[in-house]
Structure 1
Amino acid sequence: MKGTRKKPIQVVRTWVRRQPPKIKVLLAFLIAIAALFFIRTIVYDHDNLFIAAEAVHALGIIVLIYKLATEKTCAGLSLKSQELTAIFLGSRLYCSFVMEYDVHTLLDLATLATTIWVIYMMRFNLKSSYMREKDNIPIHYVVIPLALLSLVVHPTTHHHIINRVLWAFCVYMEAFSVLPQLRVMQNTKIVEPFTAHYVFALGVARFLSCAHWILQVLDTKGGLLTALGYGLWPPVVLLSEIIQTFILADFCYYYVQSVMGGQLVIRLPSGVV
């Protein structure tokens, strides 16, 4: 009896799974480059990528709201990640009001409001299901180093020094706010669907935001870096965007792998995130 013929997607997935980590990293890098060129071809106004990133982040929050409202549990979610998210959104909202009031301000306001609602539900209504022992990254381990970094490396624009420091702080905070959530998933090893959808949405948002900055630099032939100021700030901004993307890339790989395999619950192997 002839064996069942594997689908091309299954063959590719099996081949990728067997590759050593260095090859997987190289493949991820090549796919990211190809995606950047594809986006550059089909998206004419690259500012729309940043709006899309904020919209995808907001969609991820909506997924959390649905989870909390229907399942009445916050198991698997990191309260500290939500609090860090609220901190950077609040900082960015203030900077947006005083420095560049536009559509991003409205998107950040809506996302901040829904994030605060999620925090309220986790702290009070659903606190019995909060996995406090798994959410074990002290929040000051993230806030204090980033606050000190923002005092040293911040924009050199004409804005007031307080506004420039806060601008830098929210950029750095956004890059690392997801760490407690990744730690919770690392501790549990099993990620239920709604939490997985939320974290994947964060990964997509980070990639779109990173693509926005990289393509803007290419389009302006490096002029954007000059507009951001001088010194360490311009390269650090790009580095922060890249860090955000790669922090979530590993999880997104296993998310896509699980979805392609028809699995609703994601089981993470040791060492992931």
Structure 2
Amino acid sequence: MKGGGKRPIHSVSTWVRRQPPKVKGFLAVVASMAALVLLRMIVHDHDNLFVAAEAVHAVGISVLIYKLTKEKTCAGLSLKSQELTAMFLAVRLYCSFVMEYDIHTLLDTATLATTLWVIYMIRLKLKSTYMEDKDNFAIYYVVVPCAVLSLAIHPLTTHHIFNRISWAFCVYLEAVSILPQLRVMQNAKIVEPFTAHYVFALGVSRFLSCAHWVLQVLDTRGRFLTALGYGLWPCMVLLSEIVQTFILADFCYYYVKSLVGRTAGASPPLWSGVTSEPASLRSG
């Protein structure tokens, strides 16, 4: 009876895996819409979704802290992703202090502090285990385009121009800050368990944040976009949320599939080999 309950899940997983990319993409969109409908029914105050997103991010950082303190190794972690994360959090904190101060400011402060601690551990305490040769993503490939884009497209509010550009910069940089971490996992050809948990937590966090923005737009029938400003900026905010969600969606799918497979005894875990390697970790 116990095994019979797992077979349907494995059968569905196997069926999805055999579908062509277009069908998988369609199923992903349908699943995302169903999740949004469910969240809209369960969560009445959709601002709580953004708080939940930051809380899940904090959980992911906690997983890293456990890995670094208990296992005394930073193997599989991208220092550059952590530095990009610290960068956009620092800019976002500056914007929070000069533009709006709320619960998100406190959450970002805690997350920045722990991220800086992770950077300290990788750079100094556990430097001998840092896979520097695998962490070869040039961060100026994302920092420079984000800076240029923020100069061109930023909020058209009454705030000082520097603050508006800074706000746009942190939004754009957050969307692509995980790319160096994905490159490390791609280069290593294997995903260490705690790193996988951390990246999955980021994926969940990004989905909740994206759901927050989408549901706010739906609830206000588009007026929420006007509140963000005029021009291309409101669309770019939504696009940034969607981009960072889909960057991690593929990895999260394979992460969940590997857990289901391990429970059912049907497939190896995500980090044991290339058979479960998501497209986001494959080269070319």
Per the normalisation by structure 1, the TM-score is: 0.96
Q: In percent, how many aligned pairs have the same letter? A: 72
Aligned equivalents of 1:270 and 1:112: distance in 2? 29
Q: Give the equivalent residue in structure 2 for 1:138.
A: 138
Contact 1:77 1:130 (8 Å CA) reproduced: yes
Aligned equivalents of 2:279 and 2:217: distance in 1? 34
Report the alpha carbon displacement of residue 265 of structure 1 after superposing the two structures with TM: 4.9
Aligned equivalents of 1:270 and 1:167: distance in 2? 32
1:231 corresponds to which letter in structure 2? G
Aligned equivalents of 2:10 and 2:60: distance in 1? 28
1:51 corresponds to which letter in structure 2? V
Q: Give the equivalent residue in structure 1 for 2:74.
A: 74
Aligned equivalents of 1:271 and 1:250: distance in 2? 7
Q: Give the equivalent residue in structure 2 for 1:160.
A: 160
Q: Give the equivalent residue in structure 1 for 2:218.
A: 218
| 1:256 equivalent in alignment to 2:246 | no
Aligned equivalents of 1:63 and 1:106: distance in 2? 20
Instruction: Name the SS of the counterpart of 1:190 in structure 2.
Output: coil
Contact 2:254 2:278 (8 Å CA) reproduced: no
Aligned equivalents of 1:12 and 1:42: distance in 2? 26
Contact 1:95 1:167 (8 Å CA) reproduced: yes
Report the alpha carbon displacement of residue 8 of structure 1 after superposing the two structures with TM: 0.7
Count of paired positions? 270
Aligned equivalents of 1:137 and 1:192: distance in 2? 19
Report the alpha carbon displacement of residue 139 of structure 1 after superposing the two structures with TM: 1.4
Structure 1 range deviating more: 100-109 or 5-14? 5-14
Instruction: Name the SS of the counterpart of 1:191 in structure 2.
Output: coil
Aligned equivalents of 2:92 and 2:219: distance in 1? 25
Instruction: Name the SS of the counterpart of 2:280 in structure 1.
Output: coil
Contact 2:250 2:280 (8 Å CA) reproduced: yes
Aligned equivalents of 1:256 and 1:271: distance in 2? 15
Q: Give the equivalent residue in structure 2 for 1:269.
A: 277
1:195 corresponds to which letter in structure 2? T
Aligned equivalents of 1:269 and 1:116: distance in 2? 30
Aligned equivalents of 1:265 and 1:19: distance in 2? 20
Report the alpha carbon displacement of residue 270 of structure 1 after superposing the two structures with TM: 7.0
Aligned equivalents of 1:19 and 1:107: distance in 2? 41
Aligned pairs (5 A) from 1:172-187: 172-187=172-187
Q: Give the equivalent residue in structure 2 for 1:229.
A: 229
Q: Give the equivalent residue in structure 2 for 1:203.
A: 203
Report the alpha carbon displacement of residue 272 of structure 1 after superposing the two structures with TM: 3.0
Instruction: Name the SS of the counterpart of 1:19 in structure 2.
Output: coil
Aligned equivalents of 1:10 and 1:141: distance in 2? 40
2:256 corresponds to which letter in structure 1? V
Contact 2:250 2:278 (8 Å CA) reproduced: no
Q: Which runs of 5 or more residues in structure 2 are unaligned? A: 263-267
2:163 corresponds to which letter in structure 1? N
